[in-house]
Structure 1
């Protein structure tokens, strides 16, 4: 759910449609408040960073004590810590135990990975095992912090498999599929969470995990310039998919903004294409725009902020990498700024007029 006002409007709508239906509003709002308290992303992210720091400290301790020399000890300890992290979070649902859980889970993954490498397993095998363990953890634990971490591990392992096997063109297929999945998860929110209580519980952590994984993949591409040069031939593929996804999201935004006139729709589509076409060779920019629009559509402020930060970074990086003169770069940025200001004024004016109505 987006906020209390929308929950109230939704309940009133159902009661208007069917007067025989009654709701316990106090219980519903109480459940909403409880979910809001426990699922604060900022607190969860702090827990993850705290767990990561604890993991590094503990792994350092292993090297000092010499436990690293025993493969069997590493394997057993890693397995126990992963299981412990899963079940601690499943039994206790507080911030303190979230930190303990993510620390145990992260340390367990690191130690188990070390044990697998000491068993002389290939990097591909280790990546596949990590994907399997993370997927099982996601299903069994059904907790916010473990689900979020599992989604990141799965996507990170997939990128590792692509890069380790030098199949760099597959990254474009992966990004295209990820763009479609993220779009479907946002747009089909109501249908997904109504399918099964488990989906409802896992929806929020999986959604934000997909958003961060999607944008992190682009960060990886930008940082690895050798990767960009070797895979540039098909770099337009995810751009086309993302642009089509953006146009699809715009069709849903028209309903939210109450834009019904065909001339306005066509005009917005044309302006959007003019803005997006220069990004064909930089899918990261259009990817960040997709996240921003999806977040605006469902009023998800966390990913909206993440999308804006990513957009600023990707535009800055793209601007820095351009082989143009400073004057040309300035003109490009100025033109883009004018277009985005125009879009802002259009949407702001429309939203203001809807509020007055």
Structure 2
């Protein structure tokens, strides 16, 4: 941990090494460093979120035991202030206890408002739209990591609910395709988005990880064939839409990886493209697998370890689920996995060899 003396020494070193007269606002630099040094780690934030969810569940159970659900106006009168309190309390101070409290109040508020509106016989679609609008407002007004994370989940969850409740589950391909494109854009334009606007820099981390979970939620629904049949209104005729978009996004990401791996020869590029298409062709009817691969490649490209681990775990799960759902004999399944494994190993050795040669240079 750096002290003020260390920072002062660094500033003096920069001043002495420059030919121009540099001026630093040392007070603001100290404040910025202290603020960044006190930032909570991602693990602590995740624990805060889950702690808030658990506390919310217990408090909601207590409220319903007291019989508050008998009064729809009571639910609204209590729910709306809780949403406002949970959203804005984080603007007062940055404390882990208050973070958990804000998440609890925010979630409880949504649950109570939703219960109150439904008891008033409000249409479910209208309730979902109201939730989406509230979450969007909180996302752009509050700019808190935890509130932004929950808000993005509510927004995407609201759209998924609208698709399911209206038996329009085919629209999930558009949902997944849009998220794949948005994630690709966010990852590849990370530097520009952070420096473009202060609001973007404040929302970037929380929105990025939240979109990963929303993307995986959509892929999970597609990966569960029997769940889709149960929901109804689903057709496999449009399955190729999301698969094609994800595969094209993967190929676009690979083109950026060429720069990182210093691959300039056209023959090598075309060979990698051909090998990639060959690997991805079996996933046309399993976009969940190609979606996990997209997350892995994007995370590798920007060196984001959190989503890289999430992508690897998701890939293992989706491959296992795909293998389980195949209506083939055990021998055929084994051959499919064997061939896929050989292709992945070939791609690994190709990239590993290239990286090793670059390190030697």
TM-score (norm 1): 0.90
Determine helix, strand or coil for the equivalent of 1:310.
helix
* Alignment-derived partner of residue 232 in structure 1: 236
Tell whether 2:300 aligns with 1:283.
no
For residues 2-32 of structure 1, the C-alpha deviation after alignment (integer angstroms, 9 at most, x for no partner) is: xxxxxxxxxxxxx9xx975969799879957
Matches within 5 A, 1:124-163: 124-163=125-164
* Alignment-derived partner of residue 187 in structure 1: 188
Deviates more, 1:213-222 or 1:223-232: 223-232
* Alignment partners' CA distance in 2, 1:23 and 1:293: 41
Determine helix, strand or coil for the equivalent of 1:235.
helix
* Alignment-derived partner of residue 6 in structure 1: none
Matches within 5 A, 1:122-271: 122-223=123-224, 225-227=226-228, 230-271=234-275
Cα distance change on mapping 1:208 and 1:29 into 2, 3 Å: farther
Matches within 5 A, 1:10-29: none
For residues 280-317 of structure 1, the C-alpha deviation after alignment (integer angstroms, 9 at most, x for no partner) is: 01111000000000000100000000001010110000
Deviates more, 1:290-299 or 1:336-345: 336-345
Deviates more, 1:79-88 or 1:226-235: 226-235
Shift of 1:191: 1.4
Larger radius of gyration: 2
Shift of 1:117: 0.7
* Alignment-derived partner of residue 310 in structure 1: 314
Computed over aligned residues only, the root mean square deviation of the Cα atoms, in angstroms, reads 2.3
Shift of 1:355: 2.7
Given that residues 38 and 94 in structure 1 are in contact (C-alpha distance below 8 angstroms), is that contact kept between their aligned partners in structure 2?
no
Tell whether 2:356 aligns with 1:355.
no
For residues 124-152 of structure 1, the C-alpha deviation after alignment (integer angstroms, 9 at most, x for no partner) is: 00110010010011011101000011001
Shift of 1:352: 2.5
Shift of 1:259: 1.0
**Unmatched runs of 5 consecutive residues or more in structure 2:** 1-14
Determine helix, strand or coil for the equivalent of 2:169.
coil
Given that residues 38 and 95 in structure 1 are in contact (C-alpha distance below 8 angstroms), is that contact kept between their aligned partners in structure 2?
no
Shift of 1:254: 0.6
Given that residues 78 and 112 in structure 2 are in contact (C-alpha distance below 8 angstroms), is that contact kept between their aligned partners in structure 1?
yes
* Alignment partners' CA distance in 1, 2:222 and 2:142: 32
Cα distance change on mapping 1:128 and 1:319 into 2, 3 Å: same
* Alignment partners' CA distance in 1, 2:29 and 2:255: 32
* Alignment-derived partner of residue 113 in structure 1: 114
Matches within 5 A, 1:27-106: 31=32, 35=36, 38-106=39-107
**Unmatched runs of 5 consecutive residues or more in structure 1:** 1-14
TM-score (norm 2): 0.89
